[in-house]
Chain A
Amino acid sequence: TQLLEQSPQFLSIQEGENLTVYCNSSSVFSSLQWYRQEPGEGPVLLVTVVTGGEVKKLKRLTFQFGDARKDSSLHITAAQPGDTGLYLCAGAEDSNYQLIWGAGTKLIIKP
């Protein structure tokens, strides 16, 4: 069974600071997705990375897929209170349609 280890579990920082969330596995994924979940809602997809070494940007958010497709990171520049939420990574396997989920990073941005 593949596992995705996500870190940190919890992060509370001031508005304007930068942060990075990591998602690591010992196994290879065909693609990796990042979701954000707000209180009282279900997770919503932010981005999917597919190619090893791929970097995608979504405004102040930068997503990277490791060269070996075993790890990924989410970097937020100049965090804002609106970035507050639970960030989840999920890996897709070639042989199995179900997603493998990380435990999530609860992010709080203080104004």
Chain B
Amino acid sequence: DAGVIQSPRHEVTEMGQEVTLRCKPISGHDYLFWYRQTMMRGLELLIYFNNNVPIDDSGMPEDRFSAKMPNASFSTLKIQPSEPRDSAVYFCASSLGQENTEAFFGQGTRLTVV
């Protein structure tokens, strides 16, 4: 397996624009996580899914953020409208599930909102 695949690797957008980040988890993994990482706040969990169902979205900063997982092999994180304070590295991670909580991370998407 190629691991968790995220796209794009880098995104620069203007304030107010819609941004969509994409993730393909490892095949067979039941859990998918979206994280945001900044120097100031470290690694923050935004939302996670179990078998494509959102379980906890309490980390989503506000209504401008939304996430979907239409099937087991694809998830999106959307920011609309984007703001400069959304600039960060966004990671997607997946876990096998059951008693195995090891998180496998993608390479991340570095988002810059100007």
Interface contact B105-A97, CB-CB below 8 Å = no
Number of interface residues of A (CB under 8 A): 20
Docked CA distance A111–B54 (Å):
46
Which single member of B43, B48, B97, B102 contacts A101 (CB below 8 Å)? Answer: B43
**A48 and B31 in contact, given A41-B107, A88-B43, A101-B42 (Cβ under 8 angstroms):** no
User: Across the interface, which residues of A come within 8 angstroms of B102, CB to CB?
Assistant: 33, 45, 48
Tell me the complex Cα distance, A1–B63, Å: 23
Nearest Cβ on chain A to B92's Cβ, whole angstroms:
9
- A33-B43 contact in complex given A97-B50, A98-B56, C-beta closer than 8 Å: no
A52 at the interface (CB under 8 A from B): no
Q: Among the listed B56, B101, B107, which residue makes an inter-chain contact with A42, where contact means beta carbons less than 8 Å apart?
A: B107
- Docked CA distance A101–B42 (Å): 9
Residues in chain B near residue A88, CB distance under 8 A? 43
Interface string of A27-46 (1 = CB under 8 A from B): 00001010100001111110
Residues of A within 8 A of B108 (CB): 40-42
A40–B105 CA distance with the chains assembled, in angstroms? 12
Given contacts A97-B50, A98-B56, contact A104 B42 (CB under 8 A): yes
Contact code string B38-76 (vs A, CB < 8 Å = 1, else 0): 000011010010100001100000000000000000000
Interface residues of A (CB under 8 A from B): 31, 33, 35, 40-45, 48, 88, 90, 92, 97-99, 101-104
> Taking beta carbons and an 8 Å cutoff, which residues of B are in contact with A?
4, 31, 33, 42-43, 45, 48, 50, 55-56, 91, 93, 95, 97, 101-108
Contacts A42-B108, A98-B48 known; list 12 others, CB within 8 Å: A33-B101, A41-B105, A42-B4, A42-B106, A42-B107, A48-B102, A88-B43, A97-B31, A97-B48, A101-B42, A101-B45, A102-B42
